[in-house]
Every structure is written in structure tokens, then in C-alpha cells.
Structure 1
Amino acid sequence: MNQSPYPQEGARRFGAVNWLGVWTLYLKEVRRFWKVMTQTIAAPVITTLLYLAIFALAIGKFRPDVHGVPFIEFLAPGLIMMTMIQNAFANTSSSILISKIQGNIVDVLMPPLSAGELNVGIALAGVTRGLVCGLVTAAAMLPFVHIGIAHLWAVLFFAAGASLMLALLGILGGVWSEKFDHLQAVTNFIVLPLTFLSGTFYSVSQLPDFVHELTKWNPVFYLIDGFRYGVTGHADGSIATGIAIVIGANLVLWTACHLLFRTGYRLKA
């Protein structure tokens, strides 16, 4: 019996995973921020260095050590993590929202990519921008601050896990937003407060008991605390709890993003 040389309707001719498609989408997203690296990489690094300079010049000399760690060395990992998560979020959220506004989101949805493959390509590009910004920021700080590595596994795990978490949150924000005001609201009322109130600039052990307990409900606290543990060897919270939150939050966010891509919510006309 002769079989048709054409695949059945809806069949994928490249196997279970469209590796070429995922790689192409990933490169597209990476090249999108790399072409404007002055805005997407250099600007965040300079902003972070300004934070470091202000704290070092204004109050650094007057602040005592934090659990045996000089204040500026305690501050540096928090600033690096802040830079990573903000840029991972910005990369995915802006990519999706701009594509929706310009009407070229169809160029992402029409290729033979499954919801999971779209998720992988876009999210990993956000992780890449977060990690690149983190590395460049750390390198720029080295002439001014001693940055060591106390636990390499913690540095790698929390850097990658935090970047993925905020990249996925950025996908959700970009899909939900219909204009830049919506996305700015997510940034101003969710991302920034969670970041600034997570121990980026201070040790949460110095907070009043009620605020200290409240901080433990902030997932970003565990991202910064875990990364700081990897750099300085000191943690204000439970590292095991931080690991569980990173894994659990990423699973929940990944599932939510997968469902949005699968249903086409606010993506398909």
C-alpha cells in the first residue's frame, strides 16, 4: 500500500522537539537585547555602580560589619542579584508587549513551535540577559569591592534560578499587559517593592520582629539571601527553604506561562 509522501495535517516533521526552532527563537531574543547593549546591559550596570557609590561614600564608613562581613561586601551581592532579576524580567516582558503592540507577535506564534518550546526560547533569553548583566556588574565592582565565592553551587543555583523566576514572571506580565502603562504598573507595584524590601540594602535580622517575619513571605528575599550566602558565606534565612521556594515558584510560573501560550490568552486575536 502506497503511503502519502506528505505528513498528516498537524504532524511535525522534525521529531518530538523542534530544536532548530527553539534555538532560532532563543537567538532572536538574545540578539534583540544585544543589539542595544548600551541600553540593556551598560545602563543597568552603571545604575548599580551608582547605588554602590552612594552607599559607600555616604554611609559605608559609618555602618558596622554585618555578621563579620564589611557592609560594602555585604551590599554587593544584593545589588548584583537586583540587577539580574530586574533585567531578566525586563527582557521577556518588553519583548512580548512590544511584539503585541507592533502586531508582529504572529511571527512568534505561527512557526511550528509548541507552547513549551516558546516558553523555553523566550525564558532562556531572559535568563541569559540576567546572567550577563550580573557578570558584567560583578566585574565592574571588582576594582572597588572584594567579591569572593564562598559556595559556588549557591551562586550558580540562585543566579540561574532567580533569573528564570523573573523571566517567567516577565512573560506573564507581558502577556497580561495591553499597553506600557500596564507593564509599568507590574514593575512599580510588584517587582520593585519585592526587590527593595527583600534585604538588598540591609540585613533583615536588624528589622523589628513583625517586619522580619513578614519579609520571610517575600520570595525575592530568598533569592538575594541565597546568592549572598554563595558569595559571603552568611545567610539571614534558611537556604533549604530558599531552594524549595526557587524550585516551587519556577514550576508554578512555568506551568502558568505554558498555559498562556497554549491557549493564546491575549496573544491571538
Structure 2
Amino acid sequence: MSQTSSPMPRQVGAVNWIGLATMIRREIHRFLKVWVQTIAAPVVTTLLFYAVFALALGGVVRMVGDIPFLQFLAPGLVMMAITQNAFANTSSSVLVSKVQGNIVDVLMPPIAAWELTLAYVVGGIVRGLLVGLVTALAIAVVVPLPLAHPGYILFHAVMAAGLLSLLGLIGGIWADKFDHMAAVTNFVVTPLSFLSGTFYSINSVPPLFHFLAHLNPFFYFIDGFRYGFIGQTDGTLGTGIAVMLGTNAVLALTAWRMLSTGYKIKA
């Protein structure tokens, strides 16, 4: 009688490329399945923000420096759409898995904590950039969006989406229910977004708020992103890049540590 040998286990090297790619595809497919909710709806919301400001001006051409206000506003709105959707993607993915009890499907495969972190963040970045691109194209129909420095646009968009993806991942791991996640959104993400110069130049605010804006990491990626379009900045680009790199590094280390120790995701 012939003996059948048991199958050899698949060898996983330093990087589980199959697992990493599968997780990234999972995260992207998850939001593309409901694209009306995850892509179309945020674009419409951002356009409504723009329409409200345009109607409030009543046809008056206001200037920020030598830039028309609506042209100054557009990059800030696009960045807001990028960040909010990057945050929503990772936070909802983790929290829904925890609430439904299928987080074990992610934890059981031989995927390292840093690979999980990278997969979640890439998924958030893709969604944020996709929403941002569609929003920018829609706004460009009604207001000119020059491309003064395309490299700065791409760099700040990716860094901002990565930062909010990491923040959403950390929030999703920490939260036990949707109320907790809503608290993070309402008391952390939204205030930092609205007080970062999205709708105004920080050079026009009182000194105290001008100082506080420079303590807000959101200010730096909005300022650098806007500079990429209109060539005008309220802060120092080098400082902004350093702040973003440092903040992303701290958040990435925090998220990796939470996943590697199983904080609130392992029994």
C-alpha cells in the first residue's frame, strides 16, 4: 500500500506578502462594495460645504492675500474629505470586526502586527485619496485649482491620510462600542480639523489662536497641501514635514504596539 505524505506547511518568510496583499485587498474591497456611502456621499457633503460658503459670500469676491477666498478654501475642503474618510475607514473596519466578533479572522492567520498595521493604513489611505481626487475634480468644475507644486500635494495627501488612518486604527482598537468612536470623532478629529485653517488663514486670527494652530498637526498638512495648489503658505513647510513625519511615526508605533500585545482585541 502506498503511503500518502501529509502536506508540507507553507513557509512564511520575513514578510508574509500573500497575507499582506490579501489584507490590503480586503480593506479596499470593503469600502468599494458600498461606494455610494463611502465615496459618493462624502463628495456630496464636501460640495455642500463649498456651496454654503459660495452662497454666503453673495457674489462678493473676498481675497486671502492675493488669492480669491473660494480658491483658498477649495484645497482645505479637499483635505478635510481625505482625512475624515481615511479615519472612518480604519476605525469602522476594526470596531465593526470587534462588535461582530470576527476580529479573530484577522488575528489567527500568520500575519505580523506591523503587517496588519500597514494593511489597515494602506486601505485608509486609498479610500482617503480616492475621495479626495473625486472631490477635487468636482470642485475644479466651478473654481480653478492650479497645481503650483504637485509633489507637495501628493506628499501631504498621503501623509495626512496615513496619520488619520493610524488615528482611526488606534481609536477602533481602543473603543468598545460605537459611542466611544463617536466621542473620538466629535471631540478630537472634528475640532482639530475645523481649527486647523481649513476655512481661514491663521494669519487673520488673534495671537493666541495663531499659536495654538501651530500646535495642531492638522494645520501642517492642510497648509502644505494648500501650498501645493496655490503656492501660498501660512507656516513653515520644513517644520510641517518634520511634524507630520514625527506624528506618523509615534502613531504607527502606538498602533503596532496595541496590535502586537492584543490590547482589547484578544481575550
TM-score category of the 2 structures, normalised to the smaller one? over 0.9
Residue 114 of structure 2, aligned match among 116, 119, 143? 116
Where in structure 2 are the equivalents of 1:3-82 lying within 5 Å?
Answer: 13-59=11-57, 61-62=59-60, 64-82=62-80
What stretches of structure 2 of length at least 5 have no aligned partner? 1-6
Where in structure 2 are the equivalents of 1:118-197 lying within 5 Å?
Answer: 118-197=116-195
Within 2, Cα distance between the matches of 1:152 and 1:111? Answer: 39
- Is the CA contact 1:60–1:72 (under 8 Å) kept in the aligned structure 2? no
Within 1, Cα distance between the matches of 2:189 and 2:84? Answer: 8
Is 1:221 the counterpart of 2:213 in the alignment?
no
- Is the CA contact 1:77–1:231 (under 8 Å) kept in the aligned structure 2? yes
| Cα pair distance change 1:195/1:223, threshold 3 Å | same
- Is the CA contact 1:77–1:227 (under 8 Å) kept in the aligned structure 2? yes
Structure 1 residue 129 displacement after superposition? 0.3
Match of 2:259 in 1: 261
Within 1, Cα distance between the matches of 2:191 and 2:43? Answer: 20
Aligned length in residues: 262
| Two-structure CA RMSD over aligned residues (Å) | 1.4
Match of 2:84 in 1: 86
Q: Which amino acid aligns with 2:181?
A: L
Structure 1 residue 211 displacement after superposition? 1.1
Q: What secondary structure is seen at the aligned counterpart in 1 of 2:66?
A: coil
Within 1, Cα distance between the matches of 2:141 and 2:122? Answer: 30
- Is the CA contact 1:60–1:71 (under 8 Å) kept in the aligned structure 2? no
Q: What secondary structure is seen at the aligned counterpart in 1 of 2:64?
A: coil
Structure 1 residue 6 displacement after superposition? 5.8
Structure 1 residue 60 displacement after superposition? 6.2
Q: Which amino acid aligns with 1:144?
A: V
Is 1:252 the counterpart of 2:250 in the alignment?
yes
What stretches of structure 1 of length at least 5 have no aligned partner? none
- CA-to-partner distance for each residue in 1:80-131, whole Å, 9 max, x for gaps? 0000000000000000000000000001000110001101111100000000
Residue 199 of structure 1, aligned match among 197, 216, 224? 197
- Percent identity (aligned): 55
TM-score, normalising length: structure 1 = 0.95
Instruction: Flag as ranges the 4+ runs of structure 1 deviating above 2 A.
Output: 60-64
Q: What secondary structure is seen at the aligned counterpart in 2 of 1:17?
A: coil
Q: Which amino acid aligns with 2:263?
A: Y
Structure 1 residue 57 displacement after superposition? 1.4
| Cα pair distance change 1:63/1:257, threshold 3 Å | same
- CA-to-partner distance for each residue in 1:1-39, whole Å, 9 max, x for gaps? xxxx967xxxx7121100111010000010100000100
- Is the CA contact 1:30–1:128 (under 8 Å) kept in the aligned structure 2? yes
Within 1, Cα distance between the matches of 2:57 and 2:238? Answer: 33
